[in-house]
A and B are shown apart, each in its own frame.
Chain A
């Protein structure tokens, strides 16, 4: 039921882990089925230079987390904020309809991490 890309990202997830001194951390819980995703970013000169994630969830949740970290690395904050759930799902060659909500988790966690970074900048 999953595309080869999803299985690839599930089997060899990119950027799993934590960061020692993150510029921002975002955590979201999935109200649909109870999963949790946590995203760490490092921002230098407005560019996301490093990103890591930890996810408690299904195959799609792990694959979308991994994909989002790939998409966002090297992007400016503004570009990163434009990454949508749909873009993540498309980059994985689609997700089964019942699993579309899992892709929300990944982009939302990223955006939260950016918000956290921006809030820290402002203070």
Chain B
């Protein structure tokens, strides 16, 4: 059976070149980068090369990169650290309703500790309003955190416009770029960001590794205390396999960025168009064009996402859903609710995120199996049955 992995926003397969690099630093250059001897120096060289590679992708200086355990830690560090660093100037913070939980829960923690947070709403395509953002700024606003690309619906926020405003007003600006780093152009100077989060496992690197870009001159307190590693911002002997793997992955995605963007945009549009043409009662979630090249998010009415995922998996297709039944918390995705979907429509959502191994044949295969699955599940659905009854005008009850 054909295997089609369409869950690259959850994580990506580790690139074979990345595996080779990691292997070298596990077997040949396994030293402690802080040591003076040659095996230590070899590790140190790998560490600093990785920093250069990770910085190059976003136009940053190597010394502005702090390696961390991934996106979650970087988000916490930037938001909580940034808020406490500026608390003498005010206590108001701004973010959006559609952030990743690593961001939202950092803000919830700050709210418990006396900070005031504005959660900006988004429109039906998932975009914030720059005017609304400007109006939400107060004299006491000290920090703004906004994601670049939404992990569920792929919508790209107007970060550059927001960055111009925060710069003018002297407000600290953090961007969660976990879903954009290495996938679309990100330039910390053009976007005017002070801090930016990236994660290795979304770009074909190892898990548990990431970084926080911190603009030169921006100071935030450390969470952990110890040695002098990472300029004391994040002490502890470095996670060398994670860091060198991240570095190699950054180098590769940086080189392939433009060609992959073009290729994935074409595949994404083919998949979306194919679904629109072959399956009725659907809703495209997210913005049509201000959208991550590899992201397709579609709700299929009258059916539920988990049964869709199980059925796709049986055909070798791996995807994800924002359905309440897959969330573990039994609430539908907060992002789908924020763009105004009813619980019922959020239920039938399917996210397919494409990556470097996907081909045109993969898309053809999905377009072959998906309509059959949707038809089968709809034939089992009491909601679909009602819809058909309505159309035959023998309807007693109406679909909401």
Interface residues of A (CB under 8 A from B): 2, 7, 10-11, 13, 16, 18, 27, 32-38, 54-59, 61-62, 98, 101-102
**For B379, what are the chain A residues with a Cβ–Cβ distance below 8 Å?**
16
Chain B residue nearest in CB terms to A101: B330
Q: Answer yes or no: B269 CB below 8 A from chain A CBs.
A: no
- A55, B380: Cβ atoms closer than 8 Å: yes
14 contacts between A and B (CB under 8 A): A10-B307, A11-B314, A16-B379, A33-B330, A34-B332, A35-B304, A35-B347, A54-B382, A56-B303, A56-B304, A58-B325, A59-B310, A62-B307, A98-B328
Known: A32-B330, A58-B323. A13 touches B304 (CB 8 A): no
Q: Answer yes or no: B191 CB below 8 A from chain A CBs.
A: no
Q: How many residues of B contact A (CB 8 A)?
A: 24
Chain A residue nearest in CB terms to B331: A33
Residue of A27, A54, A101 touching B380 (CB-CB under 8 A): A54
- B306, A59: Cβ atoms closer than 8 Å: yes
**For A37, what are the chain B residues with a Cβ–Cβ distance below 8 Å?**
382
Q: Which 8 A-B pairs have the closest CB atoms?
A: A58-B325, A58-B306, A33-B324, A54-B382, A38-B382, A56-B381, A33-B330, A34-B343
Residue of B310, B330, B382 touching A56 (CB-CB under 8 A): B382
- B380, A13: Cβ atoms closer than 8 Å: yes
Known: A18-B385, A54-B385, A56-B381. A34 touches B306 (CB 8 A): no
Known: A13-B380, A27-B382, A35-B325. A56 touches B302 (CB 8 A): yes
- B325, A33: Cβ atoms closer than 8 Å: yes
- In the complex, given contacts A18-B385, A27-B382, A62-B307, what are 5 additional A-B residue pairs having Cβ atoms less than 8 angstroms apart? A10-B310, A38-B385, A56-B382, A57-B304, A101-B330
Q: Answer yes or no: B85 CB below 8 A from chain A CBs.
A: no
